[in-house]
């Protein structure tokens, strides 16, 4: 089956620190990979995605590279802000028509001034 | 991209009652999906709703508890029946959509935050 494993949270960083949230996956096919962000009191927003090996998704200073050899899709940001405090979900979806989205457990990020 | 509106955004419900959540999409979509997010947890798919057919439920979810309607290509409802405190969750509607920048992507509504007392 398909699964997504994220690093446990919460992650607490000082403003302007470097962020890495690890995500690895197992899939029976060739998935598209996503990062979603959920700000306090809000729904999920797509942060970035990648559809094939070596693709890099990027948005709002966040980046993640689809690494097929290590089955990983780690989220990074060079300098976090207080406004980045949220829960981040890694997810996968198999390609070829709609397939169920498999989510990781989420990683809570807290950025302190 | 797809813009999804959910109603209600929040509600406090009495034990034993039922509540219907509405999901409206700004474009026609083949399938709509309902997820549940229990407090501090990840998302779990409840069911997939195709227009003109019965919804397909995931393991652990049944139609009697979560009846779903899909009357047209832009609208769906999820009812949470005979609620108990364990049903206190965020319920999210989602669709697959196409964005020029993002390509094939899954979009979510803002969620309906239900608290059962």
Q: Chain B: nearest CA to A68, how far in angstroms?
A: 20
| Structure tokens that stand for A8 in this block | 């446990």
pLDDT in the model for residue B10: 94
pLDDT in the model for residue A99: 66
Which residues from chain B sit within 8 angstroms of residue A100, using beta carbons?
A: 45, 48, 58
Q: Which of A2, A25, A44, A102 to mutate to test the interface with B (most CBs of B within 10 A)?
A: A44
Q: Spell out the per-residue pLDDT of chain B, length 117, in tens.
A: 678 999 999 999 999 999 999 999 998 888 899 999 998 888 999 999 988 888 999 999 999 999 999 999 999 999 999 999 999 999 999 988 766 555 677 888 889 999 999
Classified as helix, coil or strand, B33 is strand
Which one of B30, B33, B110 has the shortest CB-CB distance to A43?
B110
Cα(B106)–Cα(B73) distance, rounded to whole angstroms?
16
- The DSSP code sequence of A68-80 is TTTTB--EEESS-
Phi, psi of A82 (to 5 degrees): -55, -35
Q: Chain B: nearest CA to A32, how far in angstroms?
A: 9
Query: How confident is the model over B55-75, as pLDDT tens digits?
Result: 999 999 999 999 999 999 999
Query: How confident is the model over A50-63, as pLDDT tens digits?
Result: 988 999 999 999 99
């Amino acid at each position: 089956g398909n699964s997504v494993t994220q690093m446990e949270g919460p992650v607490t960083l000082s403003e302007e620190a470097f962020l890495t949230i690890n995500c690895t996956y197992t899939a029976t096919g060739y998935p598209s990979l996503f990062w979603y962000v959920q700000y306090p009191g809000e729904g999920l927003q797509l942060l970035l995605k990648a559809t094939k090996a070596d693709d890099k998704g990027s948005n709002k200073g966040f980046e993640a590279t689809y690494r097929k050899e290590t089955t990983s899709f780690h989220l990074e940001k060079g300098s976090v802000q207080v406004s980045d405090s949220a829960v981040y979900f890694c997810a996968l979806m198999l390609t070829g028509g709609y397939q169920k989205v498999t989510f990781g457990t989420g990683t809570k990020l807290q950025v302190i001034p | 991209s797809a813009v999804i509106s959910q109603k209600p955004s929040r509600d406090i419900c009495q034990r034993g009652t039922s509540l219907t959540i509405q999901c409206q999409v700004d474009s026609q979509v083949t399938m709509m999906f309902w997820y549940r997010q229990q407090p501090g947890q990840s998302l779990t798919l409840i069911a997939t709703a195709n227009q003109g057919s019965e919804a397909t439920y995931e393991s652990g979810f049944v139609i009697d508890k979560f009846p779903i309607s899909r009357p047209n290509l832009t609208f769906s409802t999820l009812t949470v029946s005979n609620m108990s405190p364990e049903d206190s969750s965020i319920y999210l509607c989602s669709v697959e959509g196409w964005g020029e920048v993002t390509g094939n992507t899954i979009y979510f509504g803002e969620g309906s935050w239900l608290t059962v007392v």
